Amino acid sequence: MKIPVINDLLSSISAAVSNLSADSKEKEKIKSEITYAILSHYDKIAQMQRDIISNETKGNWLQRSWRPIVMLTFAAIVVLGVFIDIPILEEGSQFWDLLELGLGGYVIGRSAEKITTTIGKRLLK
């Protein structure tokens, strides 16, 4: 799959080569060599991008798990507060603001992560 910029570049090169004063076989050879050079360079760039995305998605266990751990901790505090009187859960406590911020950040962050992964996979195809 060629991207539009490369298609435009190849079209411009083809037009320029067509204006050369050489026979048609030589012109086709020049066009094919330039096209091969550009596409092989594009393939190298695409492979480097695939490698970068692949390495970024691997990460270590803590990088992948910190959001769920934080949210499970918040949930455990709330559930514990049902059975035990915990001052941090009093109405007007900043814990609820933190929980709201954490939940919003978790949902938005996770959604953004999934979207970028999906876009990255589609760009690599």
pLDDT in tens, 77-100: 989 988 998 888 888 888 888 888
Tokens of 30: 């020049």
Question: How is residue 91 annotated by DSSP?
Answer: T
Q: Answer yes or no: are the C-beta atoms of 12 and 90 closer than 8 Å.
A: no
pLDDT in tens, 7-25: 777 788 888 888 777 788 8
Find out whether 13 and 34 touch, Cβ atoms under 8 Å: yes
SS3 state at 85: coil
Sign of CA dihedral 39, 43, 46, 52: negative
